[in-house]
Structure 1
Amino acid sequence: MMRVLPIRYTSDVEALTRFYTTLGLHKGPASRPGGWVELPAGSGTLAVHKGADTGRCELAFETDEPLEAVATRLREAGYEPGPVIDEGFGRSLRVDDPDGVAVQINAYDRDLYT
């Protein structure tokens, strides 16, 4: 199952988390160093991530499906995903949508970072 996971970059994770919890989201898993906080919503999650790209929002998805299967399905449909990469949070792959915008698909292992 795919769940939508926009990633909102900020220089102040605490302030942005406070804003979105005031808006009505609830604080979920967070990284031990504090640079990543998940704010679960009805059918997805907003991720707040510390980064130099303050204000940028990246479209990402979280999946329980093996990323290799996602990559195969994309290739069979004529899209060319990048490689599956080991990350500090699990694994990910990227693929450009038809407009050339990168979309990230993540398979999280929360034991790695919470």
Structure 2
Amino acid sequence: MRVVPIRYTDDVAAMTRFYRALGLEPGPVSRPGAWAELPAESGMLAVHQAPAEDVGRCELAFESTEPLEDVAARLREAGFAPGPVLDENFGHSLRVRDPDGVWVQINLNDRDLYT
């Protein structure tokens, strides 16, 4: 799994320019420009368009290489209650609360859906 923090913003282009200036590489961008990926040496930063109440928020996410149903089964076996695996416009995702009650997102990306 790769660590993928998601940074929510009202200006994806400006945020992408900022993180590129820090040294992150450009990656895939959604066709409407609502999100962008910036690969890093040991993970990736995702920048997502967000409504005003979410601007500035950062969410912890992971990119999985195994079926999310397997990840969900492991979480359940460990006593955690993951949500359902959802079909998204980038692939599939599931969410689960960590022991502090904070949501964590796990994604299985389908690169054929990207630009």
Shorter-chain TM-score tier? over 0.9
Residue 42 of structure 1 is matched in structure 2 by 41
Residue 61 of structure 1 is matched in structure 2 by 62
Say what the alpha-carbon RMSD is for the aligned residues: 0.7
Residue 85 of structure 1 is matched in structure 2 by 86
Residue 22 of structure 1 is matched in structure 2 by 21
CA distance in 2 between counterparts of 1:37 and 1:51 reads: 13
Residue 75 of structure 1 is matched in structure 2 by 76
Give me the TM-score of the superposition, normalised by structure 2: 0.96
Q: Following TM superposition, where does structure 1 have runs of at least 4 consecutive aligned residues deviating by more than 6 angstroms?
A: none
Q: Which amino acid aligns with 1:63?
A: S
Q: Which amino acid aligns with 2:37?
A: E
- Structure 2 residue runs of 5 or longer lacking an equivalent are none
CA distance in 2 between counterparts of 1:50 and 1:110 reads: 20
CA distance in 2 between counterparts of 1:60 and 1:66 reads: 16
Deviations 1:61-95 (A, max 9, x none): 00110000000000001101000010111100000
Give me the TM-score of the superposition, normalised by structure 1: 0.97
CA distance in 1 between counterparts of 2:111 and 2:34 reads: 14
Deviations 1:32-84 (A, max 9, x none): 11111100011100000001111000000001100000000000011010000
Post-superposition shift, 1:111?
1.9
- Structure 1 residue runs of 5 or longer lacking an equivalent are none
